[in-house]
A and B are shown apart, each in its own frame.
Chain A
């Protein structure tokens, strides 16, 4: 989940109920306030009527156009004692002018005149205006609530994005980082302390990785170089024994086996050196290679070497396709892929090689899919084969990386397929 979404989600999780609560509170306070206003108006009205009546002045007409209405009823003392002298309540009131009942706010007041007799005054004001007002308030509260929520979220996210830009720059840079390759420097264009620290930490980590990578590369290179001389000595001594000692069949056989094992070490060593050289980019010179021709020649050679495996091999050269590559690297690439197919196909199997439309595709029969994650790793071997260095596909990968070629392994319908893509 992206951090932005996370923050938006959390914010809404808190803001939604909080602002809803606020809206409800606001609404009810408003309702209260409006009732209060209405009651105050009723108060004034009833006071005015009582004062006029006590003073013996003319009472206001029943219908003064204000929709307010009143009635004065004389009551006995017992009624006055048992009822509250001032009481507000809501009720349906019949309005004779309109000939219908309407919801209204009512105030009843019980008072005494100069002669000591009790009267009950009932003042009513219709509340349909209040309803309208409340509906309007509710509508605006809800609308503003949604608007406020949206603005808050948008603003927060925008501010967040703006402030986090250095982080995203760093993340983007990390996506493109490959150890041991030429990389852009770690971005360093922020004045914010935390991000500057983060960038510095990234720079440090990268420096460390690079130095370890370099050391490892150098170590492999140096170790391989140092091995060359003792290997030469050993080989020469075995050869001397073979040529000079009078050996019987068994002894000769042992010596030759030693020589073969030695040959294996020498090959391994050479391949490691080659890998190191490719990774160091020590193959600058390149020429135009006719891929079709190269693959065809090599396929012929392998068919000769593996003639007794009764493999069938079809080479399909499509359109003419030449690439710009170092000659020995091109040969390393194709020969290792081909050798891989020839060595690992069981007797009677079929190998299909297709060259064309900027692609080299080699497929062969196989019982089980290979571990696509690791087959291009050094010394990763599904099944140990005598004389195999376990570096063939690592070389293929190194060459592909050197030239930025696409390299893909697939297993479909009982066939391994390796594809090298120049596009």
Chain B
């Protein structure tokens, strides 16, 4: 899978490049509008990560360029300006997603996967890992083909981890992702623990071969079966 990173800040470009290469993607990068324009015209990418504030032009123009070239590359806008106007304009111009800075790498990876899956699988958005399959549309979870009843929060947590396999997630990050900004001043994370306990019990009761492990009591990590 080929990915193009359009980002003018070298340090951020470097870490994004490294993170995506580790996922096994073929990654290229462009630091200016001019460079990006040339790459877009010359090649096709499965996903383009686009910073719309470039030193020599507005990234949104590249979207128009893509449209004019009748290219169907997936585009995720990455912007320091978390503005609704930019978001709406970007999505209207054909971007597939909008990720405000600063973001977690895991979030970026999850968004890329989700965007690519949407365009490839013709609407089948199921996330499958090991013998666990999650359907975000109907909010159903199947373990080894059998449906498991999950509460809303448990479902959200499972989906969050399925999109971030092998990634250490701090409790506070998880709390903020599931409970929103409301949880940002919580002094302990018992409420996360309570939900997590139930989810893990339900998964193991159903015989799932993936596991959400605790990392030294600070956070969690979803691990895959080590059968391969």
Residues of A within 8 A of B (CB): 225-226, 228-237, 239-240, 242-243, 249, 252-253, 256, 259-260, 263, 266-267, 270, 273, 277, 282, 285, 298, 301-302, 304-308, 335, 339, 343, 385-388
Contacts and interface: CB of A to CB of B under 8 A. Distances in A.
B144 interface: no
Contacts of A263: 172-173, 176, 184
B184 A267 contact: yes
B168 A252 contact: yes
Which 9 A-B pairs rank lowest in CB-CB distance, beginning with the nearest?
A: A232-B102, A228-B80, A228-B101, A231-B102, A236-B15, A249-B216, A242-B168, A233-B11, A232-B101
B167 interface: yes
B170 A235 contact: no
Contact of B186 (A229, A236, A306): A306
B165 to A, nearest CB: 11
A232 B190 contact: no
Given A231-B102, A252-B215, A301-B182, 19 more contacts: A228-B102, A229-B101, A232-B12, A235-B102, A236-B19, A237-B15, A239-B106, A240-B15, A243-B167, A256-B219, A266-B102, A267-B181, A298-B182, A301-B179, A304-B179, A305-B175, A308-B190, A387-B187, A388-B185
B191 A260 contact: no
A239 B173 CA distance: 12
Contacts, number: 111
A225 B190 CA distance: 34
B121 interface: no
B185 A387 contact: yes
B200 to A, nearest CB: 19
A341 to B, nearest CB: 12
Contacts of B103: 232, 235
Given A229-B80, A229-B101, A260 B183 contact: no
A259 B173 contact: yes
A60 B85 CA distance: 120
A285 B83 CA distance: 13
Given A225-B80, A240-B19, A305-B191, A256 B102 contact: no
B191 A335 contact: no
A305 B80 contact: no
Nearest to B182: A301
**Chain A binding surface SS class:** helix
Interface in B1-36: 9, 11-12, 15-16, 18-19
B82 interface: yes
A388 B104 CA distance: 21
Given A240-B19, A243-B168, A307-B191, A335 B105 contact: no
A373 B16 CA distance: 46
Contacts of A236: 12, 15-16, 19, 104-105
A307 B104 CA distance: 28
Interface of B: 9, 11-12, 15-16, 18-19, 80-85, 100-106, 166-168, 170, 172-173, 175-176, 179-188, 190-191, 194, 215-216, 218-219
A260 B186 CA distance: 12
A273 B186 contact: no
A266 to B, nearest CB: 6
A231 B168 contact: no
Contacts of B175: 305
A239 B107 CA distance: 11
Contacts of A253: 216, 218
B12 A229 contact: yes
B187 A235 contact: no
B108 to A, nearest CB: 8
A308 B100 CA distance: 33
Contact of A233 (B15, B104, B219): B15
A233 to B, nearest CB: 5
B199 to A, nearest CB: 15
Given A229-B80, A231-B102, A259-B173, A240 B186 contact: no
Contacts of A234: 102
B185 A339 contact: yes
B12 A225 contact: no
Interface centre among B180, B186, B188 (most CB of A within 10 A): B186
Contacts of B81: 225
Contacts of A229: 9, 11-12, 80, 101-102
Nearest to B172: A260
B182 A339 contact: yes
A59 B85 CA distance: 123
A364 to B, nearest CB: 15
30 contacts: A225-B80, A229-B11, A229-B12, A229-B80, A229-B101, A231-B101, A232-B101, A233-B15, A236-B19, A236-B104, A239-B104, A243-B168, A252-B218, A253-B218, A259-B170, A259-B173, A260-B170, A263-B176, A267-B184, A285-B84, A302-B182, A304-B191, A307-B191, A339-B182, A385-B185, A386-B185, A387-B184, A387-B185, A387-B186, A388-B185
Given A228-B80, A240-B15, A252-B218, A386 B184 contact: no
A237 B81 CA distance: 22
A237 B102 CA distance: 12
Contact of B216 (A225, A252, A306, A385): A252
A393 to B, nearest CB: 13
A142 B106 CA distance: 97
Interface centre among A229, A249, A282 (most CB of B within 10 A): A229
B168 to A, nearest CB: 4
A233 B179 contact: no
Given A225-B81, A233-B11, A240 B105 contact: yes
B105 to A, nearest CB: 5
Contacts of A266: 102
Given A229-B101, A240-B19, A307 B190 contact: yes
Given A240-B15, A308-B188, A386-B187, A233 B9 contact: yes
Contact of B170 (A237, A249, A256, A343): A256
